[in-house]
Amino acid sequence: MESTDRLLLRRSSDRLVVVLRGDWTREQPYAVGPVLRQLEESLEGMVGIAFDTTALGRWDSMLVLLLRRIERLAAGHSLELDRSGLPRGADRLLQLAGASAEHRDAGRDTPPGGMLHGLGVRFYHALADAAALLRFVGEATLAFGRLLLGRARFSGRDLLLFIQAASFEALPIVSLINFLIGMILAFVGVVQLQVFGAEIYVANLIGISVTREMGAIMVAVIMAGRTGAAYAAQLGTMQVNEEIDALITLGLPPMEYLVLPRILALTLMMPLLVVYADIVGIAGGLLASINLSSIGLHQFMLQTVEAVGLDDILIGIFKGAVFGLLVASAGCYHGMRSGRSSASVGRATTDAVVMSVISIVVADAVITVVTTLIGV
């Protein structure tokens, strides 16, 4: 019969005896495939399989794996499996694993395959997402209405904390990014305009682009990664810890208690941050311009005042408010929709940032087109 150093097959009248010797552990992996095939071929005329483990050394789950395979083989050939020769622990593990096999049907529906089905599922999910977004916008609007009527229930202290987080605490990063953006614009502008002897117009370039576009956009992107993501993570974690459920059962609508203060804080603070970003951005541009060209400090400032109109500044501020509303809403929307696991919170945070950035760019494009059309 088939024989190896650790596994031997022996006939004993009408039974096939599997003799196991030596150690059967993970540290000594053993290719049992060929022996099992030999075992299967030797089953002809047998009524059962038995085991001899008198020379068996140390063993772990690897032995149980082998025994399971032999057990299945025996069941497939309707043979009796005599487990009396097995170590007691291995026999119990085999019984435990076998007992669980009776509960095999996990009850999960197997989805039908195919591209059409996949498209249908995606379309259905897209519709569900759109409906959820509409519901969120509707509920947020109603909550805002109740706020205007003085009937919204939220903590004023929370609002102040969110205002602090979305304003004062954001100043260092807003300063750094916008100062550098101003310098980059100046550098590019001075180099190009010098060719035409029109370097003084770098002040126009910096002033208008920072106040109308770059200030608001850069602040919005910073706040999307900083505050919008934080809102999604906070609310998602609250979902995991059932804190939102606790609010609902207490009769406090999460839309008023959690979402409203966050949206209000960011929408109110963003215009202020944009004004600050405009000043810092122009300062960065000024510093680079007077160092890279022959333009003097006074000349640059006079040119900036002449070039930048109040409408440019107001458009930037308006964009700031809109972007703030969008970033806070995206963060809260995905946080409130988060599942109850750490992976879901991570996904909610990512989705919030992606949605924020896309909505910022789309909104900016719309506002730019509209303001151009109405001649502002």
Positions that interact with another protein (CB under 8 A):
26, 29, 60-62, 64-65, 68, 88-90, 92-93, 96-97, 99-101, 103-106, 108, 339-344, 346
| Runs of H (alpha helix) within 241-309 | 243-249, 254, 260-292, 297-307
CB atoms within 10 A of CB 29: 9
- For the bound state, the minimum distance from the C-beta of residue 103 to another protein, rounded and expressed in Å, comes to 6
- Answer for the pair 193, 201: CB distance below 8 angstroms, yes or no: yes
* Nearest to another protein of 100, 249 (CB atom): 100
What residues contact residue 203 under an 8 Å CB cut-off, 6+ apart?
285, 289, 295, 300, 301, 303, 304, 307
In the complex, least distance from residue 175 CB atom to another protein, rounded to whole angstroms: 37
Minimum CB separation of residue 376 from another protein in Å reads 48
Total residues found in the chain within this entry: 376
Angle between helices 260-292 and 202-209 (to 10 degrees): 170
Nearer to another protein, 97 or 290 (CB): 97
34 or 145: whose CB is closer to another protein?
34
Nearer to another protein, 84 or 100 (CB): 100
- Give min distance, CB of 150 to another protein, in A: 40
Rounded least distance, CB 100 to another protein, Å: 4
Q: What span, in angstroms and rounded, lies between the C-alpha atoms of 207 and 306?
A: 10
Residue whose CB is less far from another protein, 67 or 357: 67
* Residue 94 or 357 having the CB closest to another protein: 94
Nearer to another protein, 51 or 257 (CB): 51
CB of 34 to another protein, least distance (A): 15
**Shortest spacing between CB 287 and another protein, in angstroms:** 47
C-alpha–C-alpha distance, residues 134 and 140, integer Å? 10
340 Cβ contact list (under 8 Å, min separation 6):
239, 240
Strand order of the β-sheet with 48-59 is 7-12, 15-24, 48-59, 80-82
Instruction: List the structure tokens of 91.
Output: 């026999």
CA 112 to chain CA mean position, Å: 28
Q: Which is nearer to another protein, 239 or 329 (CB)?
A: 239
Q: C-alpha distances in angstroms, 253 versus 33, 154, 257, 314?
A: 62, 9, 6, 35
Of 96 and 127, the one with the shorter C-beta distance to another protein is 96
CA 3-7-9 angle, to 5 degrees, is: 60
Asked if residue 177 lies in contact with residue 276, where contact means CB atoms within 8 angstroms, the answer is no
Question: Closest distance between another protein and the C-beta of residue 261, in Å?
Answer: 29
CB 329 → another protein: shortest distance, Å? 26
Structure tokens at 129: 């997402």
Shorter beta-carbon distance to another protein: residue 45 or 107: 107
Closest C-alpha among 47, 321, 275 to residue 174: 275
Q: Write down the least CB distance from residue 323 to another protein, Å.
A: 31
Q: Are 202 and 186 within 8 A, CB to CB?
A: yes
